[in-house]
Amino acid sequence: MEETYIYSDPKIMMGKPVIKGTRITVELILEKLAAGQTIEQILASHPRLTREGILSALDFAAKALKADVVYPVSETIE
């Protein structure tokens, strides 16, 4: 049986999805990874976080994007 690591409650972080048992949002994990931090660096910064929690955040984000329509953004290069 797969454990649920992602939790959302309107009383916690304004309802943003968080890692269960923490106030660490999926958004924060994605931002840190996008900024170049490794999983190990994130774990060192957040002792209550687990590798499984980070991987669950990535899985949650991937599934959320599949369920949403994403429009490409074009940038004007000068």
**34 inside domain:** yes
Domain presence at residue 1 = no
* 53 C-beta neighbours (distance < 10 Å), count: 23
Length, in residues, of the chain: 78
Split into its structural domains, the chain has a count of 1
In the numeric block, which tokens belong to residue 35?
């900024």
The first and second tokens of residue 67, run together, are 């369920």
The pLDDT assigned to 41 comes to 98
How far is the C-alpha of 3 from the C-alpha of 36, rounded, in Å? 28
Q: How confident is the model at residue 3 (pLDDT cuts 50, 70, 90)?
A: low
Q: How much is the pTM? A: 0.81
Domain assignment present for 48: yes
Q: Which domain holds residue 58?
A: 6-66
Residue 9 has pLDDT above 60, yes or no: yes
The residue type of 35 is: A
Q: Is residue 41 part of a domain?
A: yes
> Is residue 77 domain-resident?
no
pLDDT at 16: 95
The tens digit of pLDDT for each residue in 16-75 reads 999 999 999 999 999 999 999 999 999 999 999 999 999 999 999 999 888 777 667 666
Give the model's pLDDT for residue 75: 66
Q: Is residue 75 part of a domain?
A: no
In a domain, 73, yes or no: no
* CATH number reported for the structural domain that contains residue 21 in this entry: 1.10.10.10
